Amino acid sequence: MTSSDHETVIALDYGLRNIGLAVGNTVSGTARPLAIISAQNGVPDWTTLAGVVKEWLPNRLLVGMPLNMDGSESDFGQRVEKFARQLEGRFGIHVTLVDERLSSREAKANALAQGHRGDFAAHPIDDQAAAIILATWLNER
């Protein structure tokens, strides 16, 4: 097995108030919600994020890229690309942008099916959306 066969991966669902995190690896092909980090107008709590990176030592970071349904870049996409560049610069880890169309909708539907009351501002599910982004990437490999 070469080092490229096994990767620990952290996925991030970027948002202005919250950034959802999920972790997985390419051997098991599984993804699980990890944490939700607070953000102020899209600026994350870098100290907390650095702690997660130090704990998990990922080989790769994935960031959900919000595309329009026709596949074109959304207005929010430029902010996501800037965030991805900041991650790569701060942590020196390769960042891959992943199509996240419908991941938040799927996460909300899953949460509601599991009894979530729908008050997503009070009880966010950004970590679950990150797990869907990661699972999508793992399945498409």
Give the model's pLDDT for residue 70: 77
Give the model's pLDDT for residue 102: 66
Q: What is the CATH number of domain 3-140?
A: 3.30.420.140
Strands (DSSP E) contained in 15-140 are 18-25, 30-40, 43-44, 60-65, 94-99
Give the model's pLDDT for residue 44: 95
pLDDT at 29 over 50: yes
Lowest mean pLDDT among 12-16, 76-80, 107-111, 120-124: 107-111
> Tokens 């891959």 correspond to what residue?
96
What digits encode the pLDDT tens for the residues 86-103? 999 999 999 999 988 666
pTM for this predicted structure: 0.86
Using DSSP, state whether 25 is helix, strand or coil: strand
Strands (DSSP E) contained in 27-104 are 30-40, 43-44, 60-65, 94-99
Q: How far apart are CA 53 and CA 61, in angstroms?
A: 9
Domain ranges in the chain are 3-140
